[in-house]
Structure 1
């Protein structure tokens, strides 16, 4: 009843939207600007291997990491004390090349987990907006599948049982719009409004993300550099693709009509 199936490019919110997109066979782009998508993009840029896993960071997550010989990453604050990578994108560098990590997050990792059966599951953000749009367009040309962009949003804290806890987040909406404005093909009204939000906000993009609720939350926790990093538009060319159970950089060749790995 509320579907956007008649359009190539669509927008859905959160974990439910990610699952719906995957179930209809769409190329699904999960957008969690602060910070899961940006973190994985940055980690892969430095050559790391990332396995997504839904929270909490507990015994099940430890067992999951163990079966791949991967390190289960801690929360930002605890990781800073121990000097290890985390959900903070700037915690990754050349030293992480070839390292395997399991990364949990309430929004992006959980949405990716629920959308794992999508025809192609990609991660996008401001950092790689043009690159992920280009790759998604080629995949659409190759397969005929639609494209759904998923701004993950955040969650209200201490909600009541009968309340929807999804809190739309402008950083994810703007990240989705940055991707949509680079996509061709018919766009749903929802996608067009999202694209227009990005285009109208572009002159103040970094300022908006710096001062939005999620940006202020990270700054107050001492992670202002994360906000700066994640606000960069088209700073990286890496497109994370969920290959079975882990993210790996995707390179698609339109001329040869195939997808290959870096």
Structure 2
């Protein structure tokens, strides 16, 4: 990727997936990860309840070893949750499960993007906390030429591994951007903010889009219900020492 696509001339940037996250991130800036129907909504639920979330890229045996090393519980796939191990990427299940002090949450999209910021600040956002995240970002002085902001829609994956842009993450990213003070937006960020502002019923759109329909059809309507709770939370999960924790609790 060349500098043509790095949006360097702008203080507020928008992009898709891990590759663009690495390109748009700045060591002096802030990177906001948005994964509405799984990772960042799950992070918002756990951190709102007082837990810490350790992102991890792979859902395999190495994740279990990573959790053991850090004295943390390990989240499993939605269908693999049990009474003994009730933690998964399901926000609805995490709302009901005991709150772990530390939870390893494997995610090939959200966790990978979280690692792309390098030394920069990383925040997890979703529809539940978009307004709170935007207020925190502005209060910290991000979104300026010296402290640029990159908002990254995680997207999903096609069967061949390619990035699949998805409506729910566009709207989640747009919700953060639309709540920010104007100025310094790249055309990409302007478009994402505009998409959110121009959507007459965000909740209905997420329920009816491919990702929402998929979760309902697979038996997880509660996850969609949690994901579309627009601006109900003041939690701002910030990645600190390898774990997301609510910045407001510090």
Contact 1:47–1:96 (Cα < 8 Å) also in 2 = no
Cα distance in 1 for residues equivalent to 2:203 and 2:220: 15
User: Cα offset for 1:23?
Assistant: 4.6
> 1:190-209 residue pairs with structure 2 within 5 A?
190-201=188-199, 203-209=200-206
Equivalent position of 1:13 in the other structure: 16
Cα distance in 1 for residues equivalent to 2:221 and 2:143: 40
- Inter-CA distance 129–142: structure 2 relative to 1 (3 Å threshold): closer
- Counterpart selection for 1:34 from 37, 40, 43: 37
Unaligned runs of 5+ in 2: none
How many residues are paired up? 245
Alignment deviations for residues 160-196 of structure 1 (CA, whole Å, 9 cap, x no partner): xxxxx01101100001111001112311111111111
- Inter-CA distance 79–236: structure 2 relative to 1 (3 Å threshold): same
User: Cα offset for 1:101?
Assistant: 1.0
User: Cα offset for 1:211?
Assistant: 1.2
CA RMSD for the aligned pairs?
Answer: 2.0
Cα distance in 2 for residues equivalent to 1:11 and 1:23: 13
Contact 1:140–1:146 (Cα < 8 Å) also in 2 = no
Matched, 1:244 2:245: no
> 1:26-105 residue pairs with structure 2 within 5 A?
26-55=29-58, 57-79=59-81, 84-93=86-95, 96-97=98-99, 99-105=101-107
TM-score by length of 2: 0.91
Cα distance in 2 for residues equivalent to 1:30 and 1:169: 14
Equivalent position of 1:128 in the other structure: 129
Contact 1:28–1:118 (Cα < 8 Å) also in 2 = no
Cα distance in 2 for residues equivalent to 1:82 and 1:221: 23
User: Cα offset for 1:99?
Assistant: 2.3
User: Cα offset for 1:54?
Assistant: 0.4
Unaligned runs of 5+ in 1: 160-164, 252-260
User: Cα offset for 1:22?
Assistant: 3.0
Q: Equivalent residue of 2:247, what SS?
A: strand
